[in-house]
Amino acid sequence: MRLKNKIYGLIQIFFLIILAACRQVPSTTQVSPTATKTKQVTLASRKDLTHADLVSGFEPESIIPEEALTMPEDALPSPHAFQGHLELLGESGNGDMTVLLGSLSDDYKHLPEFDYGFIQVDSYLVPIQRGLIITAQPKYNFILEPGRIWQEPGDQGFSRASLPFALVFKGQNALLNGTLTFLFDDETVSKVWYQITQETTQNTKANLWGLLDAAYHPESIPDAEAIREAFRQELAQRFPTQPISALAEKYPGIDLSAFGKGVTPEDMGWYGVVVDGVNYLGGCQTRAGTYPYCEWMRQPSYSVAKSTFPALALMRLTQEYGPEVPDLLIRDYVPEAAESTGDWETVTFNNTIDMATGNYDSTSFMADDTGDKMGEFFGSAAYDGRIAEAFNWPNKDQPGTIWVYRTSDTFIVTRAMQNFLQSQTGGDDDIFDYVVDEIYKPLNLGPGAFTTMRTVENNWQGQAEGGYGLWWTPDDIAKLTTFLLDGGAIDGEQVLDPDLLAVTMQQDPADRGLPIGSVSSYNNAFWAQRYGRAQEFSCEFWVTDWQGISGNVVVLMPNGVVYYYFSDSDDFVFSPAVMEADKIKPFCP
């Protein structure tokens, strides 16, 4: 480790203090670092992770307050420019863990090997690789998101960086959210402190932490200027965001407690309300305080993916290739249907995305999706095994008549749409990449949304799952829901089939989808709930929503208001938010 000498350090500190009096680090994004009410740290409040801690080391006992990894509000600009690889050393033999819920073996307390490229863009530290990163470790994959770079007087001329990351359980959607931090100059780097303080896993909670040696490998990054420009564009295109507290200021009389009500607070990831082009964001609390990077905190989709990937794929294919697409037969595009124990002769794409194939074991709510047979489906990492288990259901009814929820149906229709797309293009098109290119990228979603869970072939680059396996930020949710409520057009071009979108959004009284009891339905991978006089409204209306196991809910209301939350409490409560949204824009004339 190369340290600056005392004289240089004193001159540098004096210079930085003078400079700080004249200049603050400019913000190039519309979103505050947390977009929630949070204690703002300052340069004077540095108690943890000091220069001595990160250079000489210390004996960590547990996680520390997240404010120690947060860019101070009066941060000084960095004189250094990070560009190259950050390599952590000794990952497999260092680090610690406290399991708070469930059970994890000691193998889970270590990070995978970490050696990734980063580039500094103004005051941001941007990973070259975004989205899901497949590692060689059998327990975890990585997700890396942009962090911040600044300088503090006590750091003896070094700059300080922190960034958000997530550990994703191998072959699963669940993740653990963390932050890491270090000091650096033009040639060297300090030790790296990391900690995990939040997760969305339902049955597992754990704190992880460690102080690792590291190496900085400065090098030229190919296409550096293009990466910088793309990131600046990403910041400029973020959805306007304000703290959830601002919603009550904008709409006096709103009871903010209705948003998040019914969800165990310590299990909440983030939540928000989208109205009139603003995303009012709350949550992002961890066991160590407010997460420094709320806008970059990714949460697993679980079954929200059904609404945001296969459903959009079907609407886009229908718009591009014609209204007959939903009525195409599964057996014509998934040859494995011929080996099924059920009957797939007349089952359509639409029947399958509706969970109404007529092939099932039980009509009891969620019995098939949580039973032993579905366990075999989820446990089959390879495509051949997974598609065989997806078809391993007996026939009991005509297609399109009975709703039986099964994630395996979504896997089938995802494969069918991919094979149909390839039949039209003559290529080897991937259906998830099609949705990314046709919808996600034009909507200006960030690159962290451009990867998905897949089957194990080619190092986990096989068939896209479809029924789960995405990771969202609040910005992604705001853009996707606004797109749907605005009619499925981007820059004046109709992207989604308007008729299919209309029935999906419950705008056609003649097509509510498959009934779930007396007041709920399921249509094209969207849930829907009926409201009316029973809730003391003077009219009847339907609210569509996306749901994911663990307690992930996105509610798209016909008055244009969106309410969402991602949690791991298994709570699905949103009627209080619907009632309160009526005060923003009345549902009834």
pTM of the full predicted structure?
A: 0.92
- The verdict on residue 474 lying in a domain is no
Collapsing DSSP to helix, strand or coil, 436 comes out as helix
Same domain, 205 and 289: no
pLDDT (tens digit, 9 = 90+) per residue, 222-260? 999 999 999 999 999 999 999 999 999 999 999 999 999
- The verdict on residue 233 lying in a domain is no
- The verdict on residue 234 lying in a domain is no
Q: What is the per-residue pLDDT for 44? A: 63
Collapsing DSSP to helix, strand or coil, 525 comes out as coil
Same domain, 392 and 523: no
Same domain, 272 and 333: no
Same domain, 199 and 261: no
Burial of residue 585, with CB atoms counted within 10 A of its CB: 0-12 exposed, 13-18 middle, 19 or more buried? middle
User: Among 206, 228, 250, where does a domain finish?
Assistant: 228
- The verdict on residue 76 lying in a domain is yes
Same domain, 288 and 322: no
Same domain, 341 and 429: yes
Same domain, 456 and 524: no
Backbone angles phi, psi at 529, to 5 degrees: -130, 140
- The verdict on residue 100 lying in a domain is yes
Same domain, 511 and 535: yes
Q: What is the per-residue pLDDT for 149? A: 98
- The verdict on residue 190 lying in a domain is yes
Best CA proximity match to 391, nearest among 466, 334, 351: 334
Domain at 419, CATH number: 3.40.710.10
Same domain, 113 and 219: yes
Q: Over range 266-287, report the average pLDDT.
A: 97
Same domain, 297 and 314: no
Segments forming the whole domain that contains residue 86: 6-228
For 343, the token pair is 């009957």
Which residues touch 198 (CB under 8 Å, ≥6 apart)? 176, 177, 178, 269, 285, 286, 287, 291, 297
pLDDT (tens digit, 9 = 90+) per residue, 182-210? 999 999 999 999 999 999 998 999 999 99
User: Among 228, 252, 275, where does a domain finish?
Assistant: 228
pLDDT (tens digit, 9 = 90+) per residue, 292-320? 999 999 999 999 999 999 999 999 999 99
Domain total in the chain: 3
User: Among 165, 200, 228, where does a domain finish?
Assistant: 228
Same domain, 223 and 256: no
pLDDT (tens digit, 9 = 90+) per residue, 382-393? 999 999 999 999
- The verdict on residue 78 lying in a domain is yes
- The verdict on residue 235 lying in a domain is no
Same domain, 264 and 142: no
CA distance 279 to 557: 15
